[in-house]
Amino acid sequence: MKKILLLSILLLLLLTSCQKEVSESEFLELFSNSEEIQWGVCFEKENGVFGTFEENKFTKSYQITNGCKNRVSSFEDSKEFLVFSCEKEKPVLKSNLCISGCFKNACVPLSSCIDSDGGKNFFNSGKLEVTDKVGNKDILEDTCYPGNLLGELHCITSYEVGFEEYVCPFGCVQGKCLEEKDKLAIYEKSFGEELTVFPEKVSLSVIPQIAVVNQEISLVATGIGKSFNKPQIRFGDKAFQLFDDGFHQDGLAGDNIYALITKVSEPGKFQLSLSYTNKNNIKESLDLNKDLIVIEQNEGECEYFASSQDNAKINIVITAVGYENEVEVIERVVDYKDQFGGIFSVEPFKSNKELFNVWYVSAENVENLILPDYLQELDVADELQKGYSLLSSCQKPQQFSLILYNSPTKTENGNDLSYGQYRYAYTYYDPKTKEDPTDAVHEFVHAFAGLTDEYVTDSVNNKIINEQCYYSPHVNCYSINNGVKYSCQETVESYNDCLVNAPWKDYFGDGCGKDGAIDCKPIDEDFNIEVNCFLGCGRQKNLYRSTFSSGMRKISVPFKLGPTNERLVCQSIKDINGFVKGTCLKYNLS
């Protein structure tokens, strides 16, 4: 038997010596479109496979070695480690993910890999905590993709990560496969109730939190699952009507979001209340437990950070509180030279930077600031109080403000305090512990373009939130603990509904692989930003977002927005400046 096998191999080698042998890069291209190929024979060797196949009536031979995909020039950025085997005379490929990159036919070593669900487990949602040799840590999650496809991550060894795609026969929910068709129905009967009524609430945002006398203040009232009409904000002896007209940065009228931009001519602390008429035309009032803070303008200097251009109409104003060298910190965050991963290293800001002016207010004498008593009583971190006061000295048209602070201030969930909405952003940044300023970029983009396609929390909504989220009524959601938490499952109908009606439908497939074709797998380098439909958006579990994970959902290096978000940033630039440059020219802007 061994002699027959050896003779077969020898005969194969003799045959292939007279045939055209395809290169490894050609083979990978052909392998990805293997429907047109008739496989001949396949043999496994110690570190790969070799064999023959027929294409266009010509017999060709191949041999390919296991290893980094990026050893082939056309895949130089890939983090895949390819492992081949034979199955029924056909080569079979399995890809493993190199978290820290693939180099010299091996994954860059990790120092540890810990899997919370104990290994390859399709029916438990797991998280991998990986640490590389330098000490950088990352958290990776088992994740559901469109079509009930599970991306299962597991530790092959203590320093190597494996990735496997698995089609869940009964549905994929929150990073795990359901074990049977009626899993959700059983869950509902035992622990929850089917979601038939969306939660009702009205929220109010006041931006900025601390305003300056005669500065524009944005008041935004949002109805979630609750319709309301003619809302009025009242403080002191003044009342302001809010309007649902599409001019409060989301561009959508009739979306149950009411707003007004106003000014206050005197400093002080003003308690706000909201009144409106409900769907039965009955007037209701809400005590918002929210204050409007107005301060006098600070007398600090507002200095150019970057040269002004004649055609630049957009102004960025930055202050950096608590740094030994504030100018160096601002240089990193602004990043005009594209060295640190800052604002102008990210498209479309990078190719439109000539349309921005950048100013800064020095925090050198911040300790000498005298804050009004009512400001010090406010439940806002000291660094932010000082930052807002410093920024008050620089009031520019079309201004977007950013406060950087160097004293860790934790929120209730243990995260560093950060925020970005309607022209104001603040974030903690310590260049000594983290070189790249991507957190600041993330918050600034929130403030500049109002992007919302981040996070998945336990809430649901029946409204489109801006143009980054799409609501489909076909998503199956169930409430738990009287609506405190929700479990939502994609259906074939909801996914197809999103494909047909999502605001980003003209860009499906862009961002990874061939434009216009949804052709990338979770293992592919740019899969995170390929335009598709993914459940979870705007802090709602039942809304769709356009990419698996743009920089607005998971802050990454390099920071990428993806086509949908790029287009919306470009639209914001054009709305203010009247025209755009660079990468924005490829988008159809209104």
DSSP sequence for 193-262: EE--S---EEEEEEESSEEETT--EEEEEEEES---EEEEEEETTEEEE-B-BSTTTT--BTSSEEEEEE
Do 226 and 261 fall within a single domain? yes
Do 322 and 429 fall within a single domain? yes
Q: Identify whether the C-beta of residue 450 lies closer than 8 Å to the C-beta of residue 421.
A: yes
Do 496 and 523 fall within a single domain? yes
Token pair of 308, please? Answer: 């002004």
Is residue 26 a part of any domain in this protein?
A: yes
Is residue 274 a part of any domain in this protein?
A: yes
Do 408 and 327 fall within a single domain? yes
Do 370 and 426 fall within a single domain? yes
| Domain total of the chain | 5
Is residue 8 a part of any domain in this protein?
A: no
Residue 260's domain is classified under what CATH number?
2.60.40.650
Token pair of 94, please? Answer: 């399995």
Which amino acid is it at 107?
C
Do 319 and 411 fall within a single domain? yes
Q: Across the strands, what pairs with 235?
A: 238
Q: Identify whether the C-beta of residue 220 lies closer than 8 Å to the C-beta of residue 257.
A: yes
Is residue 126 a part of any domain in this protein?
A: yes
Do 434 and 484 fall within a single domain? no
Given 398, 417, 449, the domain boundary residue is 449
**Edge-first strand listing for the sheet containing 302-304:** 302-304, 356-361, 314-321, 399-405, 424-428, 419-421
- Tally Cβ neighbours within 10 Å of residue 11: 10
Q: Across the strands, what pairs with 138?
A: 130
Given 62, 97, 132, the domain boundary residue is 97
Residue 368's domain is classified under what CATH number?
3.40.390
Do 461 and 540 fall within a single domain? yes
Which domain covers residue 333, as residue numbers? 312-449
Report d(CA 161, CA 157) in Å as an integer.
Answer: 7
Full pLDDT tens readout for the chain, 590 residues:
444 554 455 445 544 445 678 888 888 878 876 666 888 899 998 889 999 988 877 888 999 999 888 887 566 667 788 889 998 888 988 877 777 778 777 877 778 888 888 888 888 888 888 887 767 777 778 888 877 888 888 888 777 788 888 888 877 877 888 776 545 553 444 344 454 456 677 778 888 878 888 888 888 887 766 677 888 888 877 888 888 776 655 556 766 778 888 888 888 888 888 888 877 888 888 776 788 888 888 888 888 887 656 667 899 999 999 898 999 999 999 998 888 899 999 999 999 999 999 999 998 888 877 888 887 777 777 888 888 888 888 888 889 999 999 887 765 555 667 888 878 999 999 888 888 899 999 999 999 998 888 766 778 887 777 788 999 988 888 777 666 778 788 888 888 899 999 999 999 999 998 889 888 877 777 888 999 999 889 888 889 999 988 998 888 778 999 999 999 999 999 999 999 999 999 998 88
Do 123 and 216 fall within a single domain? no
* Residue 326: its H or E element: helix 326-334
Is residue 559 a part of any domain in this protein?
A: no
Given 406, 424, 449, the domain boundary residue is 449
Report d(CA 407, CA 428) in Å as an integer.
Answer: 7
Do 321 and 213 fall within a single domain? no
For the stretch 80-87, contacts whose Cβ atoms lie closer than 8 Å and that sit 24 or more positions apart, written own/partner, are: 80/523, 80/524, 81/106, 81/107, 84/44, 84/48, 84/49, 85/44, 85/49, 86/42, 86/43, 86/44, 86/49, 86/51, 87/42
Is residue 152 a part of any domain in this protein?
A: yes
Do 125 and 80 fall within a single domain? no
Provide DSSP, 62-105: EEEESEEGGGSGGGTT--EEEEEEEETTEEEEEEEE-TT-B-SS
What Rg, from alpha-carbon coordinates, does the chain have? 28
Q: Across the strands, what pairs with 162?
A: 154
Three-state SS at 422: coil
Is residue 585 a part of any domain in this protein?
A: no
Do 317 and 445 fall within a single domain? yes
Is residue 583 a part of any domain in this protein?
A: no
